[in-house]
Each structure stands twice: as structure tokens, then as C-alpha cells.
Amino acid sequence: MNGHFFIKPFVTPDRRFTSSGSTLICLLGYWVLLMFVFLSLTTMVSLSFFVYLQVYEPGDIAGGQDDPMMLAYNNLFVDNNGMVGEVLVWSLGYGSGNMLIFTTFIILYTAVEITMVYVVPWRVRRYVHAIIGVVLLLFALNKMGII
Amino acid sequence: MMNKRFILQKLWNFDEWLQNLHPLEPFVTEDLGLTRAGKMFGVLFGITLMLSIIALVATSIMAIVFVSDIMCYDTIDFAEIQMDLRDDMPLLSGIVWLGLSALFLIFYLLLYTFLVIVLHIFDVSAPRRLICHIGALVFVVLWFAPYWGPM
């Protein structure tokens, strides 16, 4: 088994994408973009937390006043009826979880294509992909409490 | 009446150029093996995928804890949290560092792919390609260097 075995389902002999290859590259493109967005969000919030933990000194705040930095964060998240905070918590909680499900789908899609492309025609394989997609989508909706 | 699309086609033969653009060629050989750029892309993508997943899980947990703390600011004592987490600072630093590394890899993966395709289109010689790739790597490292500083 060589590299040819893994590449052939996605590339035609004249080095163009097959329909499976086009789908896979679209999925990977969306994956990279979404991962960049969610990872930026989680990393920047984590970085804020880390830096804040390092610089926070309760003794410096005289007379029991609230820490201005904490108040600023609190205002950002809680103002506007908590909209920013809610959206942030939603993105952090469900965005990250759904990215894992999306990654699972891409891995399964690739695995199904590689294992079935030589023996099962596309008209059957597409139903396999659809079933995997629907099952993972239902799983995601279930985890989000929608169904 | 000529519209913009028609003008673009006539002036620059954009459609013809687009039809002759084959982004797979720099990555795949004629016998459907992988070129050196293709192998590099595969390895880079594999590492990026694994690191991104781990980093996303770790940083999202840390971020949710922080946002939850801030949301119930009135009922928590942040000084106490700080005391509790004092011994875990290296771990928290590692998590943030992991997230930044994953971002760095994603950014570099996009830049690398773009660069390989563009250099292939313009048929740039091997030494100049090497210089361009080193330049891109240095650019991305410098871009992220200020964020690594606080660690």
C-alpha cells in the first residue's frame, strides 16, 4: 500500500480533483477557517485569563474598591442584557464541541472514500456519507439541547 | 453594453487564466505520488490537525472557566481563585502556549499552501523558492512573537 492508494480516490489521472476530492478540499477549507476563528477566540480569552491572574493584586486596591479591570470585563460580558457574555459562552461551549464533531465527520468521510471507492459506486457511497452526516448532526443538536 | 465581467475577461483573459490554474500540480506528481511540497503539506496538515484539536479542547475549557467567573463576578472572590491556581500557573501557561502554537501552525499552513501555488504559477527557480519559504516562516514567527512574550 503506497501513497497512490490514498490519493487516487481524490485525484484524477491528469491531476485534477475528482468530485470526492472537491468535496474533501471544501470541507478542509471550512475546517481550517472555522478552527482559526474558534481557536483565536478561545486562545485570546485564555491569554486574557492567564495575564489577568498574573497581574491581579487585591492588596493594591485601596478601601475595598472593585478592581477596574475586572469591572471592565464584567461590563463587557454582562451589559446589553448579557448578550456579549451569552454569545461568548455559546461560542466557547458549542463552537468548540461542534468543531470536534465536524473533524470527526471529515475523518470519517475520508476513511469511507478511501475504503469504499474501489468497490462501491458513488450512488451508494453518497448515502453512506449522508447517513454519517445526519447521525453526527443529530448528535450535535442533541448535545446542544435542541432535540 | 459591456459589463465589468466582460471587460475583465477581455483585458486580462481572467477566465482562461482560471481554467489553466491547476492548484494540485505542485503537490501531486504525474504518476499520482506526492511531490516534496505535497509531503510537506501532508505532514504539516496532520500536525496542525492534531495540535489544533488538543489546543481547542484545552483553551476552551480554560476560557469557559474565565468567562463563567466574570459573569458571576458579584458572588466570587477572585483573590481566592488566584490563590487556588497559583501552583497551576505552568499548566495554564502551557495551555495558552499550545493554543498560540496551533494558531501559528494554521496560519503557516495557509501561507505555505498559497506560496507553493503562487511560486508554481510564476515558475520561480528553486533557490528563490527557498528564500521565499524562509521569508514566509520568519514573517509568521515575527507575527506571533509578541504573543509568546508574556509566557
Minimal CA separation from A49 to chain B, in Å: 6
Confidence of residue B143 (pLDDT cuts 50, 70, 90): confident
Overall average pLDDT of the B98-120 stretch: 92
Measured CA to CA, the distance from residue A26 to residue B38 in angstroms comes to 18
Q: Give residue for cell 515575527.
A: B142
Distance CA A58, CA A55 (A): 10
Residue B48 has pLDDT above 90, yes or no: yes
Confidence at B8, pLDDT banded by 50, 70, 90: low
Least-confidence region, from A90-94, A119-123, B4-8, B16-20:
B4-8
**ipTM given for this complex:** 0.82
Q: What is the pLDDT of residue A62?
A: 47
B132 near B61, Cβ under 8 Å?
A: no
Is the per-residue pLDDT at B54 higher than 90? yes
Q: Between residues 89 and 128 of chain B, which touch chain A (CB distance below 8 Å)?
A: 89, 92-93, 95-96, 99-100, 102-103, 106-107, 109-110
CB atoms < 10 A from the CB of A42, how many?
29
Specify the residue for cell string 443538536: A141
Band (pLDDT 50/70/90 cuts) for residue B84 is confident
> Has residue A126 got a pLDDT over 60?
yes
Q: What is the mean pLDDT of residues A90-118?
A: 89
A43 CB near a chain B CB, below 8 Å? yes
Characterise B68 by phi-psi region: left (phi > 0), alpha (psi -120 to 50), beta (else): alpha
Q: What is the C-alpha end-to-end distance of chain A, expressed in Å?
A: 43
Buried b (16+ CB within 10 A) or exposed e, A50-68: bebbeebeeeeeeeeeebe
3-state secondary structure A84-126: HHHHHHHHHHHHHHHHHHHHHHHHHHHHHHHHHCCCCCHHHHH
Q: What is the mean pLDDT of residues A93-102?
A: 88
Gap between the Cα atoms of B59 and B103, Å rounded: 12
Question: What does the block give as the cell for B115?
Answer: 506560496
Does the distance separating the beta carbons of A51 and B103 come in below 8 Å? Answer: no
Concatenated DSSP letters of A30-71: HHHHHHHHHHHHHHHHHHHHHHHHHH--GGGSGGGPPPHHHH
Report how far Cα B48 is from the mean position of its chain's Cα atoms. 8
Q: Is A69 on the interface with B (CB under 8 A)?
A: no
* B110 — pLDDT class (breaks 50, 70, 90): very high
Name which of A39-48, B3-12, B16-25, B42-51 the model is least confident about: B3-12
pLDDT digits (tens, 9 = 90+) for A25-41: 999 999 999 999 999 99
Question: By C-alpha distance, which of B13, B16, B38, B11 is closest to B27?
Answer: B38
Identity of residue B85: L
pLDDT attached to residue A137: 93
Asked if the C-beta of A41 comes within 8 angstroms of chain B's C-beta atoms, the answer is yes
**Range from A126-140, B9-23, B93-107 carrying the lowest mean pLDDT:** B9-23
- Does A122 reach chain B within 8 Å, measured CB to CB? no
Contact B63 A49 (CB under 8 A): yes
Q: How does DSSP classify residue B87?
A: G
